[in-house]
Amino acid sequence: MMLLRLAFQTLFLAIGQIWANKVRAMLTTLGIIIGVAAVVSTVAATNGLKNFVLTEFSSFGANKVWVFPRRPPEMRDRFSWRKIRLTDDEADGLAANVPSFERLTPVLDFTAPTQYHEMRKPFVPVHGIRPVWHDIEARFVTQGRPFSRIDEEEQLNVCLVNDKAIAELGLPTNCPGEYLLVDNRRFLIVGVVETKAVSPMFGNDDAMSEVFIPFRTARAMRPDGGIYVIAQTKRPELFEDARAETTFYMRRVRGLKGDDPDTFGVEAIEQVISQFNKIASGITMGAGGIVAISLLVGGIGIMNIMLVSVSERTREIGLRKAMGARPAVILLQFLVEAVVLCMIGGAVGLAIGQGITLALREIPNGPLKQAEIPAWAVALAVGFSATTGLIFGMFPAIKAARLDPIDALRHE
């Protein structure tokens, strides 16, 4: 009970001393305030940007994998396009030899003039796909029906369109059953696919007109067209297994020897997310460096002002010692004062950091709508502030505790 009462008395005495020198205390804590405000606002902005990027990437599917032809930059003369392009047989072989893939489809993309009655667009993206494409891309039919196995096997002239194509080609709202001319070839519209807008993060927020046709039909229209493969792993964490299995299969079927570079690429959203997380962690560590420097500067200021305070209150210290105050009590008084001073600076810094965070969230069309200060950043700021007070307040407190009461009472 005695110890608790002493702690409260020391705390209120420290607050009283700080309040008596408000302007000096405010200027002394500027380093702490700037450091804490900088680190919490930087962490909040980093978290907001990270959440924005991950949300945008998640719309593409965390367990999607792309396999595509890639010419080795160091051997461009050795590998022609015909040698590195993916073939339909290789795509079918991936489905049979990569157990980590749950499903996949080759995709053949090209642009073609497309016409409905008198409305004609010269360059409309056309995608040759297989029926499983809908499950991989999570884009489903809102009207009509999706492609069937018969559409693919029989190379039927059927197609799907998206909402943007309906608007730009002047199609009726309920368009299944209508006919389109795609590259002067007549196609029956059997369904409407959800339109997927491209995020502003990827350079464009406008959805495009799209026409989808069965893969084998697209191959008949573009016999020499290049393809890539979109696959879906059974679980997102299986990407590394899928890449190893794909690499093994592709090198074997292409006859690549040990020293030959890969003539194909395997990429996944999960891989990009992992790389971005590393970048975000680096930014957070950089913010830690900022706060360390600011707290060092602030701590030196705290130590300096506490030494001045000890010098100003030398007679008071001598009087208290003459009245029976022990050195430990004097040390505790000045140490608590230094810690309280740093904690006040930390609290002001947190308030300023929160204000900056709220301002960042209000930026129109900005990527930081989800910016917020995590609990660990608040705890870190409070801990750093208290530690700074303890470390830099210790020397002035020890100096005050060691003062000789006789010399202190004689001090002018």
Alpha helices by DSSP H, listed for 313-366, are: 314-322, 327-361
Q: What percent of the chain has pLDDT over 70?
A: 74
Note the pLDDT tens digit of each residue in 264-304. 999 877 666 666 667 777 766 776 676 667 667 777 777 77
Q: How far apart are CA 110 and CA 108, in angstroms?
A: 7
Q: How far apart are CA 336 and CA 99, in angstroms?
A: 64
| pLDDT on residue 105 | 95
Note the pLDDT tens digit of each residue in 308-336. 666 666 666 666 666 666 766 677 777 77
Report yes or no: 340 and 15 within 8 Å, Cβ to Cβ.
Answer: yes
User: What letter represents residue 169's amino acid?
Assistant: L
291 to each of 37, 278, 284, 349, 372, how far by Cα in Å? Answer: 9, 20, 11, 11, 18
- Mean pLDDT within 68-73: 84
Beta bridge mates, 66: 230, 267
Q: How far apart are CA 93 and CA 107, in angstroms?
A: 15
Average pLDDT, the chain: 80
The residue behind tokens 């461009």 is 76
Residue (of 114, 113, 112, 116) closest to 179 by Cα position: 116
User: What letter represents residue 294's amino acid?
Assistant: S
- Tell whether the model's pLDDT for residue 93 goes beyond 90: yes
Beta bridge mates, 267: 66
Residue 39's pLDDT band (cuts 50, 70, 90): confident
Note the pLDDT tens digit of each residue in 169-210. 999 989 999 999 999 999 999 999 988 755 554 445 456 889
377 CB contacts (<8 Å, ≥6 apart)?
Answer: 39, 40, 43, 44
Note the pLDDT tens digit of each residue in 121-176. 999 999 999 999 998 888 889 999 999 999 999 999 999 999 999 999 999 989 99
User: What letter represents residue 310's amino acid?
Assistant: V
